[in-house]
Amino acid sequence: MIKKALLSASVLTTILLAGCDNTAKVPEPKAKAEGSVNTKPITIGYSDWPGWVAWQVAIEKGFFQEAGVNVEFKWFDYSASMSAFSANQLDAVSVSNGDNLVIASGGTKGIMIMATDYSAGNDVIIAKNGINSIQELKGKQIAVEKGLVDHHLLNTALSDAGIAHTDVNLVNAVTNELPQVFSSPDVAAIAVWQPVANQALKAVAGSKIIYSSQDKPGLIYDTLTVNMTHLSAHKEEWKKIIQVWDKTVKYINDPATRPDALAIMAKRVGLEADQYAQFIEGTHLLDLAANKKVFEKSNNFDSLYGSSYHVNEFNFKNGLYTQKVDVDGVIYPELVQSLP
């Protein structure tokens, strides 16, 4: 699978360093010549996270054709999708809200027009036998890939437990290698996402999940982020895409069509449908009604704003950028709020 890195140094080098005006105002489109028709497909990058693999259902069920919108989805490794978006090779990309801020800090301003989901258990902290709470990690070694989304999860869990960051010893390790690192006698816990988390649980007997994104709903949102210039010229098409997403979520959640949806999604990533069901359970998909609530401004995690304010602080304190991003300038609620 998956997912959601706060941009690595190699990705950051690809980001265009154009100026960013940090406002949420989308420029008005230029008038088209009379009789002209836009036949060029809208290009959207997506990658291996359940909230984005869900798009495959819309693709294969023909929902976009039914809506009358010309869309081309392009499959990427996650970091590569962000690089492509930053280089203006995509009109939109599927990214976490925290990664959107890192992209914006580099100069390429992507506007979050919709939230596909929030992580509801797929991001976890796993501890060895005998450790049953975050409080018991004080003084211990914890392995995590620094700067990635589960570093943010760990940071939040420690803060909530009243543990200073200096009271634990972070061991930096590549996510895919965390199961092996966890086997080291010196490492008491790891922060990791699925399916690598399941590998770690199998690798170390008696280990267990002591904290997950389910304990902090809304900490990690996943979004549809659109190029600001493209959005200004194609608002009606983007409204249709949001409506297709709403239809897709309902198709996945409907008990009558859920087996078909799971089969489509599982096939896209080379898994069996019963295996993939676990990952859907750990991903809270957001339909249009839920998006309307998420796009209401507040400082809480039930708001995309509040979650993004929080991750903005994390990114800044951990050196992912040297100046805080204007969060309000990269969230555009008008489309979801305008739909019935």
**Low-confidence spans in the chain with pLDDT less than 70:** 1-38
Query: Would you call the peptide bond into 210 cis, given omega within 30 degrees of 0 as the criterion?
Result: no
CA distance to 22, 115, 226, per residue, from 104 (Å): 9, 17, 12
CA 229/CA 165 separation, integer angstroms? 41
Q: What's the confidence (pLDDT) of residue 127?
A: 98
Q: What's the confidence (pLDDT) of residue 10?
A: 40
Q: Name which of 63, 78, 90 is nearest 245 in CA terms.
A: 63
Domain 123-215 classification at class level = alpha beta
Q: Tens of pLDDT along 32-55?
A: 433 333 579 999 999 999 999 999
Under the phi-then-psi rule, with left for phi > 0, alpha for psi from -120 to 50, and beta for the rest, what region is 135?
alpha
Start-end of CATH 3.40.190.10 domains in the chain = 42-118+219-338, 123-215
Q: What's the confidence (pLDDT) of residue 315?
A: 93
| Edge-to-edge strand list for the sheet holding 187-193 | 169-172, 141-144, 187-193, 123-127, 208-212
Q: Report residue 208: phi and psi, to 5°.
A: -155, 160
CATH of region 42-118+219-338: 3.40.190.10
Q: What angle do CA 305, 307, 308 make, to 5 degrees?
A: 65
Q: What's the confidence (pLDDT) of residue 35?
A: 35
Instruction: List the beta bridge partners of residue 189.
Output: 127, 142
Q: What's the confidence (pLDDT) of residue 3?
A: 55
Tokens of residue 256, six digits: 């009558």
Instruction: List the beta bridge partners of residue 124.
Output: 192, 212
Q: What's the confidence (pLDDT) of residue 19?
A: 37
